[in-house]
Amino acid sequence: MVVTKLHETGVAVMRLDPADLPGKALMSADYARGDFEGHLSVNGHVLSMGGLDSVWVRRPGEPAAHAPRPSVWLTAETHQALFGMLYSASARWMNHPRNADQARLKPWQLRTAHLSGFAVPPTAITTSPRLAQQFAKEHGDVVVKSASGPPPGDPALALPTTLVGPDPDFSAVAAGPALLQRYIPKRADIRLTCVGTQLFAARKAAEPGQVDGRYGDTGHAWEAVPVPVRIGRSVHEYVTLAGLAYAAFDFAEDEESIWWFLECNQGGQFGFVELETGQPISEAVARWLSQRKGRRTT
Amino acid sequence: MVVTKLHETGVAVMRLDPADLPGKALMSADYARGDFEGHLSVNGHVLSMGGLDSVWVRRPGEPAAHAPRPSVWLTAETHQALFGMLYSASARWMNHPRNADQARLKPWQLRTAHLSGFAVPPTAITTSPRLAQQFAKEHGDVVVKSASGPPPGDPALALPTTLVGPDPDFSAVAAGPALLQRYIPKRADIRLTCVGTQLFAARKAAEPGQVDGRYGDTGHAWEAVPVPVRIGRSVHEYVTLAGLAYAAFDFAEDEESIWWFLECNQGGQFGFVELETGQPISEAVARWLSQRKGRRTT
């Protein structure tokens, strides 16, 4: 969707899968005379680093993964060469990998959400069965989540957010950290997509008692909703602290219309929201990416 | 050496190998009421995140590596939990992993060195045999280096910096990026260690024609030398741009006493320099680490 929009407006786009370097792609960077020049070439198309305005990071492959003789060492060397060159350019990033890595840490998200003024459900992350027990006792209804998302390579082991039953056995917490959160009885799921300074909020009504809106079909659709002023301020604060140009926030809306911060995914999908609500998110991304150096407004 | 000095001055130290979590170590973080509390416990010693002044990152193991049933997923969850909690604390880092990751990229180092005003030997990083050829022709004597260091697990494949012979065959460059650099005929190796704002420079005379001072014994020892004012300014500029509290710079000193920037290792060793020169580097690290919140001077 984004690439189509960029093509429509005549913006030059180069697509690179780092897995294709070396091979289909070629790179060369020159650090001399106090200056830096770099070139990237894919299928005969050449891009100069001086002409690179923005980088959109979209599930990149592992450097050198498609090489005839891949190895851990070749991946490390190619990662060094490619990202070292890209970091040397004065492009802006959606999102810079350095900030993206930090923003993936869920406990850090919770802290940053607090600092940004969001309502955040009380949460504990622990390897202590005793403290897990204590947290569940103090907060009544509690859900358990995975901190890092579905296990790689085994989607069957994905852990949907799950309500903890009465009198639970927390002994397994000692074997791996658990993320426990006070259950927010919700009226709706909110997905807020932030692109630069543009915000798009969408709402999907929840079935009573539904815990994880990502799994299963509720029969409700995503609908565009306005962004409350206070939420807008907190979003701005959050992405500034995190150094993110793009972020997808998930909230639970409770019976009192409070939006509770659940998580912020720096690489979250937006296609499904755009398709259901008609919100011009891909256009906003394309516009952000196509701003030229020295002519940036947001 | 650093821990001994910290013990001598009565500063409380907790040592944690992330590989020991969960297991020997226990963690618990609580995000509630707009605030954050976290605890780390190792062998019964408990550290509160509120009392954590600084974190020294020193070749940490992989989270959960010592677990009875280690897995990629358990490592991801434990990494999330531990680093998410540590990033939530208001401690200072030597060095923050986010900045350390960026600072490891050698091409980025060269660009940052340029911006900081260092003399940097002309360097090319390329997967194009033709451009490698062209660089070698333009610059005469050229060395080739690994960008990412020795291949993990196979030190026998380590590539010392090597002078390229006359009329070289660069065809293999297409299979993996090569880092080529103009050869600097050097009189000495310089190691400059930066700890906060304190600088320690050491010099070791080189044998004529010696290319890589890290391999082989030259019979010369490291000696403390003063830091030229201009170099001091550039070091300060570099570590500020890079966000580093600790950095070990390698320079080549040429016949005209110019210090040429070769690399900056954010996790570089300092023990060998301290032992040979008597420079109080470990004491400087200990002093930096033991500064308390709100009483920081550097």
CB neighbours of residue B27 within 10 Å: 26
Rounded Cα distance between B40 and B60, Å, is: 16
Looking at this predicted complex, what is its ipTM? 0.87
User: In whole angstroms, how large is the CA radius of gyration of chain B?
Assistant: 22
Q: What is the mean pLDDT of residues B170-183?
A: 89
Closest residue in B to A175 (Cα) is: B22
With CB atoms and an 8 Å threshold, state whether B80 touches A105: yes
- Residue A174 is encoded by which pair of tokens? 């000692």
Closest residue in A to B131 (Cα) is: A28
Residues forming beta bridges with residue B46, ordered by sequence position: B41
A113 exposure class (CB count in 10 Å sphere: 0-12, 13-18, 19+): buried
With CB atoms and an 8 Å threshold, state whether B124 touches A29: yes
Alpha helices in A10-94, H assignment, sequence order: 72-88
Percent of chain B with pLDDT over 70: 91
Rounded Cα distance between A263 and A45, Å, is: 39
pLDDT in tens, B147-175: 777 666 665 555 667 787 777 888 888 88
Interface residue of B16, B24, B26, B28 to substitute, partner A, most A CBs within 10 Å? B28
- The whole-angstrom distance between B72's CA and the closest CA on chain A is 8
Residues forming beta bridges with residue B201, ordered by sequence position: B192, B225
Per 3-state DSSP, what percentage of chain B is helix, strand, and coil (rounded to 5)? 35, 25, 40
Closest residue in B to A34 (Cα) is: B114
- Residue A21 is encoded by which pair of tokens? 């370097």
Chain B CB contacts of A128 under 8 Å are 26-28
Which of residues A162 and B93 earns the better pLDDT score? Answer: B93
Q: Give me the pLDDT at residue B169, please.
A: 83
Token look-up 């193991």 returns B61
Q: Give me the pLDDT at residue B152, please.
A: 62
Q: In a 3-state reduction of DSSP, which class is residue B82?
A: helix
Rounded Cα distance between B104 and B102, Å, is: 5
With CB atoms and an 8 Å threshold, state whether B176 touches A125: no
User: B95, B246 in Cβ contact below 8 A?
Assistant: yes
Q: What is the mean pLDDT of residues B2-29?
A: 94
With CB atoms and an 8 Å threshold, state whether A22 touches B174: yes
Cα dist. A177→A173, B25, B67, B70, B146 in Å? 6, 11, 12, 13, 38
Percent of chain B with pLDDT over 90: 73
- The whole-angstrom distance between B214's CA and the closest CA on chain A is 20
Closest residue in B to A102 (Cα) is: B98
Q: Give me the pLDDT at residue A203, please.
A: 97
Checking DSSP bridges between strand B198-205 and strand B186-195, what pairing results, if any?
Answer: antiparallel
With CB atoms and an 8 Å threshold, state whether A175 touches B148: no
- The whole-angstrom distance between A195's CA and the closest CA on chain B is 23
Interface residue of A125, A128, A145, A262 to substitute, partner B, most B CBs within 10 Å? A125
pLDDT at B297 over 60: no
pLDDT in tens, B121-139: 999 999 999 999 999 999 9
- Residue A29 is encoded by which pair of tokens? 């960077």
Q: What is the mean pLDDT of residues B57-63?
A: 94
Q: Give me the pLDDT at residue A297, please.
A: 46
Interface residue of B80, B135, B170, B263 to substitute, partner A, most A CBs within 10 Å? B80
Chain A CB contacts of B68 under 8 Å are 175
Chain A CB contacts of B137 under 8 Å are none
- Residue B121 is encoded by which pair of tokens? 């030997």
Q: Give me the pLDDT at residue B216, please.
A: 59
Closest residue in A to B96 (Cα) is: A102
Confidence of residue B273 (pLDDT cuts 50, 70, 90): very high
Out of B22, B80, B111, closest to residue A36 by CB: B111
Which amino acid makes up residue A262?
Answer: L
Confidence of residue B239 (pLDDT cuts 50, 70, 90): very high
pLDDT at B211 over 90: no
Q: Give me the pLDDT at residue B258, please.
A: 97
- The whole-angstrom distance between B171's CA and the closest CA on chain A is 13
Residues in chain A: 298
Q: Give me the pLDDT at residue A298, please.
A: 43
Helix (H) or strand (E) holding A145: strand A142-145
User: B32, B43 in Cβ contact below 8 A?
Assistant: no
Q: Give me the pLDDT at residue B148, please.
A: 76
- The whole-angstrom distance between B256's CA and the closest CA on chain A is 18
Q: Give me the pLDDT at residue B298, please.
A: 43
User: A240, A116 in Cβ contact below 8 A?
Assistant: no
User: B242, B194 in Cβ contact below 8 A?
Assistant: no
Rounded Cα distance between A264 and A65, Å, is: 29
Please, what are the domains in chain A? 2-90 (no CATH), 100-119+185-290 (3.30.470.20), 123-182 (3.30.1490)
- The order of strands in the sheet holding A246-254 is A223-225, A198-205, A186-195, A246-254, A259-265
pLDDT in tens, B25-59: 999 999 988 889 999 999 889 999 999 999 999 99
Q: pTM score, two decimals?
A: 0.90
- The whole-angstrom distance between A213's CA and the closest CA on chain B is 22
Which amino acid makes up residue A193?
Answer: T
A154 exposure class (CB count in 10 Å sphere: 0-12, 13-18, 19+): exposed
- Could you report the average pLDDT of every consecutive run of 10 residues in chain A (298 residues)? 93 95 93 90 93 94 93 92 94 95 94 96 93 90 81 61 78 88 94 98 86 66 97 98 98 96 95 96 96 60
Residues forming beta bridges with residue B253, ordered by sequence position: B188, B259
Chain A CB contacts of B29 under 8 Å are 107, 124-126
- Residue B272 is encoded by which pair of tokens? 């060998």
Least-confidence region, from A158-162, B111-115, B253-257? A158-162
Closest CA to B97 of B236, B245, B249: B245
Rounded Cα distance between A257 and A119, Å, is: 12
With CB atoms and an 8 Å threshold, state whether B81 touches A26: no
